[in-house]
């Protein structure tokens, strides 16, 4: 089951707090998935790829209107055997059309969309019909509601932004898309719409991905630091080897000889690790800058002596 379908099944478990919220959800479903069939009398059809959404629509419509309906299904993809379902309302359809002003640009209820519960009910209905959200296990975060109708998309954006969700609009082929990209905002919206179980899964997956990403960054950093250590050690050992073969070591300070010895014994150690060994075995007061200074001094002596040999 896709994550979008899981979210919708989660939303279908929610109930609205009052009559107005119920009717707003019905209206949203019809405006995003319905069609008026003109005739005498009028009919309404409502289509969804989920039978559970069809049942939700019928349940809410029967609650307030004396409807009669028929449900049919048809295959839309021979490869994956996907079906879509259509509920056609005959008797009672004219009452819904008139009550919700479905033929009009907007219903009389829209001016009453003042409470958060009302807005959530409309958005829930729109998402159930034309919404989708990426699985949090995927690379990108994306939640959207789509429509061919510009006024509907603008209205959805208005509702979302009135609830501080920072929704944006783009066009994809013939459709307009109202979308959210921020993963934390998507999780909050899922919770707000009533998909608590889906939100918990979503946020758990996001946290897991962030932990894995952080661990990978840490490993990459460790590898990069080790590479730098290896390069620095390789250069230091090159000058130490030159001094051992060419320079009169008896003329070197004992502190420099000690550093040469420790570096040769631990070629893969960082300066901090070398310093720990020196503190334990030789000089507990030597600082990291002091150790670095001695290694630079060995390099200077080697380069100066090499230059004198050329002369």
In this structure, is residue 199 part of a structural domain?
no
Distance of alpha carbon 307 from the chain centroid: 60
Structure confidence at residue 192 (pLDDT) = 92
Structure confidence at residue 301 (pLDDT) = 84
Structure confidence at residue 83 (pLDDT) = 84
Q: How confident is the model at residue 107 (pLDDT cuts 50, 70, 90)?
A: low
pLDDT by residue (tens digit) across 184-195? 899 999 999 998
Q: How confident is the model at residue 220 (pLDDT cuts 50, 70, 90)?
A: low
| Same domain membership, residue 224 and residue 190 | no
| Same domain membership, residue 264 and residue 182 | no
| Same domain membership, residue 102 and residue 25 | yes
In this structure, is residue 24 part of a structural domain?
yes
Domain count, the chain: 2
DSSP per-residue string spanning 190-227: HHHHT-HHHHHHHHHHHHHHHHHHHHHHHHHHHHHHHH
Q: How confident is the model at residue 295 (pLDDT cuts 50, 70, 90)?
A: confident
| Same domain membership, residue 160 and residue 80 | yes
Strand 82-89's sheet: what is its strand order?
A: 34-37, 43-48, 82-89, 69-77
Whether the per-residue pLDDT at 103 is higher than 80: the answer is yes
In this structure, is residue 200 part of a structural domain?
no
**Percent of the chain with pLDDT strictly greater than 70:** 89
| Same domain membership, residue 216 and residue 111 | no
Q: What is the CATH number of the domain that holds 78?
A: 3.10.28.10
| Same domain membership, residue 233 and residue 135 | no
Strand 168-172's sheet: what is its strand order?
A: 131-133, 143-147, 175-180, 168-172
**Rounded distance between C-alpha atoms, residue 171 and residue 297, angstroms:** 65
| Same domain membership, residue 147 and residue 53 | yes
Helix (H) or strand (E) holding 119: helix 116-130
Whether the per-residue pLDDT at 119 is higher than 90: the answer is yes
In this structure, is residue 134 part of a structural domain?
yes
3-26 average pLDDT score:
92
pLDDT by residue (tens digit) across 35-80? 998 888 889 999 999 999 999 999 999 999 998 889 998 877 655 6
pLDDT by residue (tens digit) across 222-265? 666 666 777 877 888 887 888 788 878 778 888 888 888 888 88
Residue 122 CB contacts under 8 Å (≥ 6 apart), including other chains: 24, 25, 27, 28, 113, 159
| Same domain membership, residue 20 and residue 64 | yes
In this structure, is residue 253 part of a structural domain?
yes
118-146 average pLDDT score:
92
Structure confidence at residue 277 (pLDDT) = 83
Structure confidence at residue 210 (pLDDT) = 65
Structure-token pair, residue 252: 């070197």
Degrees (nearest 5) of the Cα angle 198, 204, 206? 100
| Residue that wins the pLDDT comparison between 299 and 47 | 47
Mean pLDDT in the chain?
85
Q: Of 160, 194, 228, which one is at a domain's C-terminal end?
A: 194
| Same domain membership, residue 106 and residue 14 | yes
Q: Of 194, 223, 250, which one is at a domain's C-terminal end?
A: 194
Residue 46 CB contacts under 8 Å (≥ 6 apart), including other chains: 29, 30, 33, 34, 35, 54, 57, 86, 87, 89
Task: Give the domain extent around 89.
Answer: 3-194
| Same domain membership, residue 113 and residue 69 | yes
In this structure, is residue 292 part of a structural domain?
yes
Structure confidence at residue 78 (pLDDT) = 55
Structure-token pair, residue 198: 């889906």
In this structure, is residue 202 part of a structural domain?
no
For residue 221, CA distances in Å to 33, 71, 214, 217, 227 come to 51, 59, 10, 6, 10
Structure confidence at residue 274 (pLDDT) = 81
| Same domain membership, residue 218 and residue 189 | no
Structure-token pair, residue 189: 């919206």
Q: Of 162, 194, 226, which one is at a domain's C-terminal end?
A: 194
| Residue that wins the pLDDT comparison between 274 and 211 | 274
Structure confidence at residue 207 (pLDDT) = 72
**Rounded distance between C-alpha atoms, residue 68 and residue 162, angstroms:** 37
In this structure, is residue 204 part of a structural domain?
no
| Same domain membership, residue 16 and residue 56 | yes
């Amino acid at each position: 089951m896709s994550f979008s379908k899981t979210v919708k099944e989660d939303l279908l478990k929610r109930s609205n707090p009052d009559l107005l919220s119920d009717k707003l959800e019905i209206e949203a479903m019809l405006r995003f998935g319905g069609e008026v069939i003109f005739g005498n009398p009028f009919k309404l059809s409502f289509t969804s790829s989920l039978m559970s959404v069809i049942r939700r629509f019928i349940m809410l419509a029967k609650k307030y209107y004396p409807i009669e309906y028929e449900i049919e299904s048809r295959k839309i993809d021979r490869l994956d055997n996907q079906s879509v379902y259509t509920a056609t309302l005959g008797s009672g359809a004219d009452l819904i059309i008139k009550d919700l002003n479905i033929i009009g640009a907007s219903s009389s209820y829209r001016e009453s969309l003042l409470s958060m519960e009302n807005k959530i009910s409309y958005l829930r209905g729109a998402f159930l019909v034309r919404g989708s959200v990426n699985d949090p296990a995927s690379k990108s975060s994306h939640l959207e509601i789509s429509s061919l109708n510009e006024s509907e998309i603008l209205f959805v954006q208005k509702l979302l932004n009135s609830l501080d969700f920072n929704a944006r609009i783009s066009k994809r082929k013939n459709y307009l898309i109202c979308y959210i990209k921020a993963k934390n905002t998507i999780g909050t919206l899922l919770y707000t719409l009533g998909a608590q179980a889906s939100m918990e899964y979503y946020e758990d997956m996001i946290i897991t991905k962030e932990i894995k990403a952080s661990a990978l960054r840490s490993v990459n950093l460790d590898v990069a630091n080790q590479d730098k250590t290896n390069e620095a050690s390789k250069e230091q050992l090159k000058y130490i080897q030159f001094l051992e073969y060419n320079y009169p070591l008896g003329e070197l300070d004992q502190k420099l000889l000690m550093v040469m010895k420790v570096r040769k014994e631990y070629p893969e150690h960082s300066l901090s690790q070398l310093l720990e060994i020196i503190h334990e075995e030789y000089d507990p007061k030597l600082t990291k800058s002091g150790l670095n200074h001695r290694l630079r001094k060995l390099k200077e002596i080697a380069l100066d002596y090499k230059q004198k040999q050329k002369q």
